[in-house]
């Protein structure tokens, strides 16, 4: 692990995000890659057809998604399934993501969650006592990795007060050709535009517009090498483009909320961190 540049906390406050190159060392990256391969091998895309996409205002994101709060669920790329419902990508190249409880259920992710760079990353984001609630692997497979449209993470992790921090860790180099993140420095000061809310009576979720502020017209590509950590604010608008390149762009994300924050009742994720993850 390389020490974080001295101005990262200031960058986070000013820009709404901060980039820490070399945060995660090579042997930890290798350990994570091995663990991810085990999950990919265990996932049967013929039998498990849950898809994750962000171009449909999150329609139909229900029971499988809710259950994934406490499990490790695979979600396919939309383009991995053709119009007849047939799989048209190789089984190890068709996942969009797996989540959302890797940190509870997989020792490699538990080790990562407890590691010094992760604690430091959350501290840079202002969380001295982070409560880790969600972990994911985002695959962005070559050729079919889907676009992630503009969003703010607080739309999907609704807490009161709103204090969630995301860590995005590159397992592979990410640049604008294979779908790196794009962010708009300073735009974390803009209001929350959408809320994904669940009606627990009908168990249906819906994305609701709550502010008409437009999405940023300009953004910066966050081009990083493997092992870098991007620390970002829950109101930071961010997106990533489809990956039409022949290179994958695997990343791990961890999200935590502040110790004094609680879920609002409509949030899809209702779980508390396990006691030992009250870091």
Ligand X SMILES: O=C(O)CCC(=O)C(=O)O
* Comparison of 44 and 134: residue with beta carbon closer to ligand X: 134
Which residue in the shown chain puts its C-beta closest to ligand X? 240
Least distance (Å) between residue 201 CB and ligand X: 28
* Comparison of 131 and 151: residue with beta carbon closer to ligand X: 151
Residue appearing with tokens 């959302």: 100
The reply on whether position 251 binds ligand X by CB under 6 A is yes
* Comparison of 77 and 153: residue with beta carbon closer to ligand X: 153
The reply on whether position 254 binds ligand X by CB under 6 A is no
* Comparison of 181 and 261: residue with beta carbon closer to ligand X: 181
The reply on whether position 253 binds ligand X by CB under 6 A is yes
Range 158-177, binding ligand X (CB under 6 A): 166, 168
Least distance (Å) between residue 187 CB and ligand X: 14
User: Are residues 279 and 128 in contact, defined by beta-carbon separation less than 8 angstroms?
Assistant: no
HSE at residue 11, side-chain half, CA atoms within 13 A, is 15
* Comparison of 28 and 248: residue with beta carbon closer to ligand X: 248
Give the residue, chosen from 131, 163, 195, 238, that forms a contact with ligand X under the rule CB under 6 A: 238
User: Are residues 75 and 96 in contact, defined by beta-carbon separation less than 8 angstroms?
Assistant: yes
Total binding residues toward ligand X, as defined by CB under 6 A: 12
CA 156 and chain centroid, separation? 11
The reply on whether position 240 binds ligand X by CB under 6 A is yes
The reply on whether position 138 binds ligand X by CB under 6 A is yes
Least distance (Å) between residue 167 CB and ligand X: 9
The reply on whether position 153 binds ligand X by CB under 6 A is yes
Least distance (Å) between residue 46 CB and ligand X: 25
How far is Cα 238 from Cα 155, in angstroms, rounded to an integer?
A: 12
Give the residue, chosen from 148, 184, 187, 269, that forms a contact with ligand X under the rule CB under 6 A: 148
Q: Which residues bind ligand X (CB under 6 A)?
A: 138, 140, 148, 153, 166, 168, 179, 181, 238, 240, 251, 253
């Amino acid at each position: 692990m390389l020490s974080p540049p001295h101005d990262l906390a200031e960058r986070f406050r000013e820009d709404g995000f901060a980039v820490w190159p070399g945060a995660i060392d090579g042997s930890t990256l290798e350990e994570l890659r091995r663990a991810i391969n085990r999950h990919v091998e265990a996932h049967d895309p013929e039998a498990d057809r849950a898809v994750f996409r962000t171009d449909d205002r999150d329609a139909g994101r229900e029971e499988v998604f809710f259950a994934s709060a406490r499990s490790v669920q695979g979600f396919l790329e939309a383009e991995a399934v053709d119009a007849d419902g047939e799989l048209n990508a190789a089984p190890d190249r068709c996942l969009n993501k797996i989540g959302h409880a890797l940190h509870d259920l997989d020792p490699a992710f538990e080790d990562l969650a407890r590691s010094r760079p992760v604690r430091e990353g959350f501290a840079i984001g202002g969380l001295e006592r982070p409560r880790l609630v969600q972990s994911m692997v985002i695959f962005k497979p070559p050729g079919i990795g889907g676009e992630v449209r503009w969003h703010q993470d607080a739309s999907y992790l609704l807490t009161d007060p709103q204090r969630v921090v995301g860590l995005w860790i590159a397992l592979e180099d990410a640049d604008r050709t294979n779908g790196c993140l794009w962010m708009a420095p300073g735009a974390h000061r803009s209001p929350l535009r959408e809320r994904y809310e669940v009606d627990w009576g009908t168990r249906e979720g819906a994305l609701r517009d709550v502010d008409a502020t437009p999405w940023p017209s300009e953004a910066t590509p966050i081009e990083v090498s493997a092992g870098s950590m991007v620390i970002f604010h829950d109101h930071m608008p961010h997106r990533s483009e489809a990956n039409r390149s022949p290179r994958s762009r695997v990343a791990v994300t961890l999200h935590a909320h502040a110790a004094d924050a609680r879920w609002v009742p409509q949030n899809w994720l209702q779980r508390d961190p396990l006691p030992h993850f009250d870091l």
